[in-house]
Amino acid sequence: MVELKIEKLIYGGDGLARMHDAKLGRSKAVFLPFVAPGETVEAIIREQKPGFARAQAEKVLQPSEFRQTPPCPYFFKCGGCQYQHLQYAEQVKAKAQILEETLSRTAKLKLEQPIQTHAAEPLGYRNRTRMRVSHVPQFAIGYYRFGSHSLLPVEQCPISSPLINRVLQGLWAAGREERIAREVREVQFFANHDDSRLLLELYIDHHAEPDALQPMIETLRGKMPEIAGVAVFRGAPADDSEDQRAPLTRAKASPGVFFGERSLRYKTKRHEYQVSAGAFFQTNRFLLDEMAETVTRGHSGKLALDLYSGGGFFSLPLADQFEKVIAVEASGHSQADLKTNALRNVKAVRSGTEEFLRGEGRQLRPDLVVVDPPRAGLGEKTSHLIGRMSVGRVTYVSCDPATLSRDMKVLVESGFRVEEVHLFDLFPQTYHLESVLHLVR
């Protein structure tokens, strides 16, 4: 056992402490989950590496005044959330600090303005979640266990919407009666804006036949009429082992077999979107309007580019303010929604961003470029291509501060300055953080 003082939280959910390493002759970092800044804990060292160690707190000797009883009964065991032991305001504060430090360390950015934070309901916010299914020794549905790829059965998820929780209970009831087909390995729930309608995506073994699931799906829809449609995608792991991670890209590439509706209508204050099964859509039902507003407010002109546009979540508000919007998206599912959602002055382009910027986009002189890449960020090539564009304003929407900061280094070297930084807490109770940076030059 060692006694550790927690300095701060770091990206990924762990706390950071330091301990003396006799071999190194100096102190080294120790990472441990479920702690709070300022606390003193007694911990077991679980893993020693040359430069750091991983530990687990066994006893909190001096608790933080911001500790709370976790609202979810599965917290500490479930891999989904990392921060439920911390009062909500402290979670947001910790995320702002992590964002500021990452930008400063990697991109050498010293912010001129404080980070503006946007937070809403800390529970019941998720309109989309994905769970694993096991049929051995009996039916179970849930998330991965903390730090593992084995299944933790979960009968409720307090961060998910009420409708998702009701349908989850319906699946448990059907599963207990052995009425969930054994081919089903993963389930994604997606609920609409007022939590009244829901799409289910079922991921099945790649050798299974989607049509064979029809009787089960009809029974589920009969019992739960809020299920507007069910899409079945092939591609989850083929064997029966519980701890195998599904190859999501393969599942996403499957065209899908549909029962009932293929998409939901999702309304925001200003627009309405078609969101199809398999397509990306933002996950926090309470912060969508504020986020669209923050990304697009105050900008206008002849041309805006919306890169990584998904189904056009930002393209539509941009189209109200710009004469023309070009929305670039690589995925077929999202592209189909984008084409349906697009207003008259939105041109939908199906392409990877880099290919677009090297080809059709090369000669363009937009007034604004909005980028909202997946976790991998823009990458070096795309960051350089944007840096070389003739554009005065870029808005970077990011879900990963590490890749954001790496890309920001390139953008700052290309002459951009950070005008505003916003932190959107789209994922309360977890370490995930979304940010919006307005850049000018």
* Binding segment (CB under 6 A) for ligand SAM, from list 53-61, 130-138, 326-334, 401-409: 326-334
Binding track, positions 371-390, relative to ligand SAM; x by CB under 6 A = -xxx----------------
Site for ligand SAM in 261-280 (CB under 6 A): 280
Question: Which CB sits closer to ligand SAM, 191 or 208?
Answer: 191
Asked if residue 239 belongs to a known ligand binding site, the reply is no
From CA 21, how far away is CA 9, in angstroms rounded? 21
From CA 18, how far away is CA 353, in angstroms rounded? 42
From CA 140, how far away is CA 327, in angstroms rounded? 41
Asked if residue 282 belongs to a known ligand binding site, the reply is yes
Contact with ligand SAM (CB under 6 A): which of 310, 317, 366, 401?
310
Binding track, positions 420-439, relative to ligand SAM; x by CB under 6 A = --------------------
Interface with ligand SAM, residue 253, by CB under 6 A: no
Burial letters 279-306, b for 16+ CB under 10 A, else e = bbbbbbbbbbebbbebbbeebeeebbbb
* Binding segment (CB under 6 A) for ligand SAM, from list 24-32, 63-71, 136-144, 327-335: 327-335
User: From the CB of 127, what's the least distance to ligand SAM, in Å?
Assistant: 12
Interface with ligand SAM, residue 127, by CB under 6 A: no
Q: What are the DSSP calls for 416-430, one per residue?
A: -EEEEEEEE--STTS
* Binding segment (CB under 6 A) for ligand SAM, from list 134-142, 160-168, 325-333, 432-440: 325-333
Side-chain half-sphere of 70: how many Cα atoms within 13 Å? Answer: 20
> In this structure, which amino acid lies at residue 236?
A
Question: Which CB sits closer to ligand SAM, 214 or 340?
Answer: 340
Question: Which CB sits closer to ligand SAM, 32 or 316?
Answer: 316
- Checking 91-94 for CB contacts under 8 A at 24+ apart, the result is 91/122, 91/425, 91/428, 91/429, 92/117, 92/119, 92/423, 92/425, 94/8, 94/9, 94/37
User: From the CB of 205, what's the least distance to ligand SAM, in Å?
Assistant: 25
Question: Which CB sits closer to ligand SAM, 309 or 383?
Answer: 309
Contact with ligand SAM (CB under 6 A): which of 64, 165, 294, 353?
353
Q: Angle at the Cα of 162 (from 131 to 232), degrees rounded to 5?
A: 40
From CA 386, how far away is CA 372, in angstroms rounded? 13
User: From the CB of 114, what's the least distance to ligand SAM, in Å?
Assistant: 25
Interface with ligand SAM, residue 309, by CB under 6 A: yes
C-alpha closest to that of 322 among 379, 382, 278, 367: 367
How many residues sit in the footprint of ligand SAM (CB under 6 A)?
18
From CA 249, how far away is CA 417, in angstroms rounded? 35
Q: Which two tokens stand for residue 253?
A: 């590439």
Interface with ligand SAM, residue 308, by CB under 6 A: yes
Question: Which CB sits closer to ligand SAM, 134 or 276?
Answer: 276
Q: Which two tokens stand for residue 351?
A: 């392409």
Compute the Cα dihedral for 230, 233, 239, 244 and give only its sign.
negative
Interface with ligand SAM, residue 331, by CB under 6 A: yes
**Separation of CA 35 from chain center:** 23
Interface with ligand SAM, residue 329, by CB under 6 A: yes
Residue 241: exposed, middle, or buried by beta-carbon count in 10 A (0-12, 13-18, 19+)?
exposed
Asked if residue 308 belongs to a known ligand binding site, the reply is yes
User: From the CB of 125, what's the least distance to ligand SAM, in Å?
Assistant: 16
From CA 256, how far away is CA 370, in angstroms rounded? 30
User: From the CB of 275, what's the least distance to ligand SAM, in Å?
Assistant: 9
Active site residues: 399
Contact with ligand SAM (CB under 6 A): which of 10, 123, 253, 330?
330
Compute the Cα dihedral for 359, 365, 366, 372 and give only its sign.
positive
Residue nearest ligand SAM, CB atom distance = 310
> In this structure, which amino acid lies at residue 241?
S
* Binding segment (CB under 6 A) for ligand SAM, from list 33-41, 149-157, 183-191, 367-375: 367-375
From CA 431, how far away is CA 429, in angstroms rounded? 7
From CA 154, how far away is CA 407, in angstroms rounded? 38
Contact with ligand SAM (CB under 6 A): which of 352, 364, 420, 441?
352
* Binding segment (CB under 6 A) for ligand SAM, from list 79-87, 89-97, 328-336, 405-413: 328-336
Residues of each annotated binding site: 282, 308, 329, 372
Residues contributing to the site for ligand SAM (CB under 6 A): 280-282, 308-310, 313-314, 328-331, 334, 352-353, 372-374
The annotation places the binding site for S-adenosyl-L-methionine at 282, 308, 329, 372
